[in-house]
Copies of this chain bind each other. A is one copy, B any other.
Amino acid sequence: MLLDASASGLFPIAPTPFTPDGKIDDGSLDTLIARYLAAGATGVTVLGIMGEAPKLEPEESLAITARFIAGFGRLPVIVGVSAPGLAAMRWLARAAMDKGAAGVMIAPPPALRTDDQITGYYRQAIEAIGSDIPFVIQDYPLTLTVQMTPKVIRQIVEENPSCVMLKHEDWPGLEKITALRAFQKEGSMRPISILTGNGGLFLDFEMERGADGAMTGYAFPEMLGDVVRLQKAGERDKAHDLFDAHLPLMRYEQQQGVGLAVRKYVMMKRGFIASDAQRKPGSALSATARAEVDYLLARLARHDPRALV
């Protein structure tokens, strides 16, 4: 089933579990899938920046993709296919779709600057992978250094009918969601799904601004799913109460460079994955940092028993 603009809910950004000696850990992959489904995931995104995708060999990328597709059944699996060259992007996109992926996610290469360069890049990328593959725009200026205005996103959406979703992680970005939803309302842009990233750090208000859900990798996907559901149910205060309880840890996890180490450490403690190993080059947590995370988990557990680990 192909991804479309009605996608919503919780799409975790999946990390890639490795054994301490750097092999892909299939058992942990299966555990991870089970835990995501139990957390209420409505889909999943693999091979993203936080999935250590550039450290994988092509066949490994495909094998991981296939395992998630098998595990998620009828739920959509989105595959990150960003690559420095369009040949590699095309190869991975076609291969992933052949395996049953629901769509692909494309980030702009860091060198892009002008509006025309950005929209031109998406035209060329879609020409390369084929216009039959639903795709997601990844808008992540903090890491990618590419800045897309709402008008540029609208132009990409309008020029490429296969664009069905925005992974929104501009920072700050609340007004951008409002602007895009206003475009839809005035009829100048067709509806798309907007799922938000940025480690979840603004998910509380992003939902109020019109986001459809979360697409990020915070180590408590259950909380992300709960906030999305509570906000959709109009339970604003409850959503913020839960969100605020997690914010100290979320903030700690959202540190550039060291964030994935924090995330994998917590996921390991929670039993999602067997080891927090990263493939080289990867950052490691100091003993002090691990103790800080343990302290944050203990404090969180007073509000959310799922943090008792």
A121 CB within 8 Å of chain B = yes
State the CA gap A252–B171 with chains docked (Å).
11
In chain A between 38 and 87, which residues have their CB closer than 8 angstroms to a CB of chain B? 53-58, 60, 83-87
Q: Is the CB of A55 within 8 A of B87?
A: yes
Which of the residues B86, B175, B292 comes within 8 Å of A289, measured between beta carbons?
A: B175
Majority DSSP secondary structure for residues of A touching B: helix
A88 CB within 8 Å of chain B = yes
In chain A between 82 and 134, which residues have their CB closer than 8 angstroms to a CB of chain B? 83-88, 91, 110, 113-117, 120-121, 124, 127-128
Task: Known contacts A55-B85, A113-B147, A116-B151; decide if A172 and B280 are in contact (CB<8 Å).
Answer: no
In chain A between 227 and 256, which residues have their CB closer than 8 angstroms to a CB of chain B? 240, 243-244, 247-248, 251-252, 255-256
Q: Which residue of B lies closest to A85 (CB)?
A: B54
A299 CB within 8 Å of chain B = yes
Q: Mark A149-187, 1 if CB is under 8 A from B, else 0.
A: 101100000000000000000011011001000000000
Residues in chain B near residue A136, CB distance under 8 A? none
A35 CB within 8 Å of chain B = no
* Size class of the A contact interface (CB-based, 8 Å): 35 or more
Residues in chain B near residue A248, CB distance under 8 A? 204, 240, 243-244, 247
State the CA gap A163–B86 with chains docked (Å).
31
Q: Which residue of B lies closest to A257 (CB)?
A: B172
Residues in chain B near residue A288, CB distance under 8 A? 174, 178, 209
Shortest CB distance A171–B (Å): 6
A269 CB within 8 Å of chain B = no
Residues in chain B near residue A255, CB distance under 8 A? 171-172
Listed A/B pairs (18) with beta-carbon separation below 8 Å: A55-B85, A56-B85, A57-B91, A58-B58, A86-B281, A87-B279, A110-B110, A113-B147, A114-B114, A114-B147, A114-B149, A117-B147, A128-B280, A171-B256, A175-B289, A209-B288, A244-B247, A244-B248
